A and B are shown apart, each in its own frame.
Chain A
Amino acid sequence: MDYAFLLQVLDSTIRLSTPLLLACLAGLFSERSGIIDIGLEGKMLIAAFFSAAIAYSTGSVWMGLLAGIVSAMLLSAVHGLASITFHGNQLISGVALNFLASGLTVLIAQDWFGQGGRTPALLSGGRFSELTLPLAETLRPVPILGPLYAEVISGHSILVYVAFAMVPLTWWILYRTRFGLRLRAVGEAPEAVDTAGVSVAGLRYAAIAIAGVLCGLAGAYLATGLQAGFVREMSAGRGYIALAALIFAKWRPWYALYACLLFGFLQALSLRPDIVEAVLTVSVPVQLLDALPYILTVIILAGFIGKAIPPRAGGDPYIKER
């Protein structure tokens, strides 16, 4: 395999990691506050649809992005209503929201556009264009690093850079702000936070609102960055891979980045089985590459490579004693 091939794979790794990373950070905020979020997939899907639909009808990708974020936040609000206000089962709520998103997106798409559950293909104004970073062409002749900069780091849509910037931002919010401290506390010991006079419900709603925004970005990137329009089930299990990455990262932001890059790399490889075969000199079934993120997560969960300990209060509704 030559260097150009490697750069191609790395370039698609970045593209494919982006939605995983955004969804994974969404899950991180939510689960660190003690709300388990199976519904990342559904939020991403509904955001993908509304961002494509609104971007198509207004011709503005930014309006699309806004619509995507709002729709994902609405699903977050329902999740919050079920799991915070009404002390319901968070897992079941998440599962239901995933179904709701799968069904509603196709139903509305058929009603609005009549194209069998998809949106019309987006033209250039309805998509995020690819940014060329400064000096990308000037530096290209530099050996090794030049092409790396021009091919892999430069030339992505703005949402990719937003996603990667979210990692240090998330770290800073979680570990360097008062809000972050409280957020982590409410996921471990909500009764202590309550005793300190801080609203448990308020913090948790804030956390899932952030999760909604991030899932909205992830979905918008799928439909208006990675592809040009919405097709049914286009999230294709990415929400679950993000969940897997979150466990892999043991609920920490920087590790989430590494886990998402790894899983994105595996996805990129499964698109190019010929490369894998050339490098390993044996034929690897593409299905194995597809399943590898899930298999790795089960191994991590089993505690064979360090133990993954979730936030202690995750999944339990907080009921204030009278």
Chain B
Amino acid sequence: MPLPFIFSTGIEEGLSKQASFSGGSEIDHLSDYALYVRGISKTFSNGVVANNDVTFGIIKGEVHALLGENGAGKTTLMKILSGCLKPDRGEIYVNGVKTRISDPRKAVQLGIGMVHQHFTLIPTFTVAENIALVSSSSRKLELKAVEDKVRHVSKSLNFEINPNTRIEELPVGARQKVEILRLLCQDVSILILDEPTSVLTPLEVEDFFRIIRQLKNDGKSVIIITHKVKEALSISDRITIMRGGKTILTIPSSQTNASELASYVVEGFIPNLKRVPTARGEPTLSVKGLFIKGDRGEMAVKGLDLSVHSGEIVGLAGVTGNGQKELVEALTGLRKVEGGSISLKTCDLANKPPNFVINSGISYIPEDRMRRGVILGMTISENLALKRIDKEPYSKKMLIDKEALDKSAKELISIFGIKASDPCATAGSLSGGNIQKLIVARELTNAPNIVIAEQPTAGLDVKASEAVHQKLLDLKSKGAAILLISADLDEIMKLSDRVLIVFGGKIVGEFSSDSLDMEKLSKLMLGSE
């Protein structure tokens, strides 16, 4: 049965491309697709139409990027393919055979596996134990065999991993590789990766892309969900764009470019950051000779010095696991300081409780937003008041003023464009991107002295990212001191006045934004200079 190459297009350009591909393409039989779906629709119980008559196909041995904004329905579609969600309507074909995917186990049997944005490994288990948990076919735990398989599969992908390391001891990049390994050990042939680079440093991204290419060479099909246009272009063979729950078009990467794709992803988006030139003021935050212990009792920060002036954004670049996490936690009162000093103007902040830090006007956008930044079981207005619940107007004489809470929540929801039906809905009902907007809204209002922004736009779409960047720039122009910790070097370079490079718990280099040497910076990040 011949099938058109491009599906459900609503755009004229799309239609013209459809004509040009379907004629000459040799790929127009259902059996050429490793996976093909059509007419998929999914409406959630809260009324959100996540997928609306979606058609999508992946060819054997290709890397396919699914590109779209947050809330475009990418993750929902992939969760349907991996058996985590059931579609309301639609047909699924695996290798040309119509099938139903009832649950993730069934999906794996069909050779489809997914790595979720939030990893699902058990931190206290070793690599082998985590893999044995899902791949063991008999009732007996054959850890030895699993270990051998892990070694074998990881070797074929050219990376080293000790199967006996506990997950909690691994950096995020390695955990992601374990997630992929776990799928490969179950003989999965179609891998779905949800925003895989959002947690990786540029170097890790390179390594990750290498593995993706290796997988492709081994004949695996890979679907990468992403909202980054550049990334989609650089790794994939073909790109499918989703918008508003529909697939807009599918196009080979070689036949398009970044600006064309961006115009499909967000209709009519023009980057428009406003910068007000700001004079650098007095040092607001100064850190001297700081020593902090990591989770395993080792010294993670070893004599770190830095300062952030008012009216300045300082970017902290570095490979994950070089003491950034410990530094941020010490600055916000969440981790004990072993030695050295942290001061806000003249006030000492070392080893003060979080409440003291908050009252000193330090805002903190945490990287681990689900675990730290938000309380999913509480309402949106309660979450927005988290750090100020003891203060007026939120409460008087220990009694909460619910009206004040809802009123201020409604304001923040409209200012920050949080997609929420009602401030009294639980935060858990929001999408990941909107949860981040909620956190940013809470942290960037009330004129903070210092903002510590840890991966503030990870997983956010173009418009939302720009809104966060604009807000940070506005605060800077009002005299706030901003420390930006990001694995996204583009973000650091776009916003920072100064870039500091952290390696091995120390600052090993400093650049001003106008004299950035990328090669030197990369070497410093790796500690090879």
A and B bind? no
